Amino acid sequence: GNSVTQMEGPVTLSEEAFLTINCTYTATGYPSLFWYVQYPGEGLQLLLKATKADDKGSNKGFEATYRKETTSFHLEKGSVQVSDSAVYFCALRTEAGTALIFGKGTTLSVSS
Amino acid sequence: NAGVTQTPKFRVLKTGQSMTLLCAQDMNHEYMYWYRQDPGMGLRLIHYSVGEGTTAKGEVPDGYNVSRLKKQNFLLGLESAAPSQTSVYFCASSYSSQISNQPQHFGDGTRLSIL
């Protein structure tokens, strides 16, 4: 079946460090891929998305590239800030699907 | 711009009690969803709706019922609450998923504790 696997957290970084959160997926066809972010006490917000192979989604300094050959959509940021501390969810929606399929989430904690 | 609004934000129930969670969206979205979020489990789909008057089961529908009488509202009901239903519940909405790249917009969640 369709699924999303994220690296387990928590990920703990110092301010200005480089961030990578790994995400791989299993799906038929050509799904759309998403990263959502959840700040403490809030709902999920769309961070970025990519809809076809080799697309790069980007927002707020975060980037992720849709890699069909490795079925991956890793999230990266060159220099994290304390305000980036949150839970990050990778998700997919298949061409025939209705709802999103989420990974279990990765908690990021950034200290100054 | 309200987006997706969930009420209530917090609730404590006793086992066996019933309650309804309300979700309202003002974006004229066709699709609406209810998820639950549990530690280490990510978000799991409970029920969803692809339009007014329609509902369908998701991954974990047991113990819940839903109704979509108006396009802008999606209600989640617990007829007889159980401690296993202690969770954070999120409502989301989106345009038609016939276009798979449409993102979902989420509410801020309802934190429900069942004693």
Report the gap between the CA of A79 and the closest CA in chain B (Å). Answer: 26
Question: What does the DSSP 8-state code read for residue A84?
Answer: G
- Start-to-end Cα distance in chain A: 41
Cβ neighbour number for residue B17 with a 10 Å cutoff = 14
- Nearest-by-CA chain B residue for A47: B103
Chain B residues touching A97 at Cβ < 8 A: 97, 100
Asked if B43 and A49 come within 8 Å (Cβ–Cβ), the reply is no
pLDDT at B74: 98
Chain B residues touching A66 at Cβ < 8 A: none
Tell me the average pLDDT across B71-87: 96
- Start-to-end Cα distance in chain B: 36
Q: pLDDT-based confidence at A106, cuts 50/70/90?
A: very high
Asked if A51 and B101 come within 8 Å (Cβ–Cβ), the reply is yes
Quick one: what percent of chain A has pLDDT higher than 70? 100
User: Looking at the predicted structure, is the pLDDT value of residue B66 above 70?
Assistant: yes
Residue ranges of E strands in chain B:
4-7, 10-13, 19-25, 31-38, 42-49, 56-57, 65-67, 73-78, 87-94, 105-106, 110-114
Q: pLDDT-based confidence at A29, cuts 50/70/90?
A: confident
Residues of B with CB under 8 A from a CB of A: 4, 31, 33, 40-45, 48, 50, 56, 58, 90, 92, 97, 100-101, 103-109
d(CA B22, CA B36): 14
pLDDT at B100: 60
Report the gap between the CA of B42 and the closest CA in chain A (Å). Answer: 4
The residue type found at B103 is P
Tell me the average pLDDT across B93-100: 74
d(CA B15, CA B77): 14
d(CA B96, CA A89): 22
pLDDT at B95: 86
* B54 in Cβ contact with B74 (< 8 Å): no
Tell me the average pLDDT across A80-89: 96
Question: What does the DSSP 8-state code read for residue B4?
Answer: E
Asked if A98 and B107 come within 8 Å (Cβ–Cβ), the reply is no
A110: left (phi over 0), alpha (psi -120 to 50) or beta: beta
Which tokens is B37 given? 């979020």
User: Looking at the predicted structure, is the pLDDT value of residue A34 above 80?
Assistant: yes
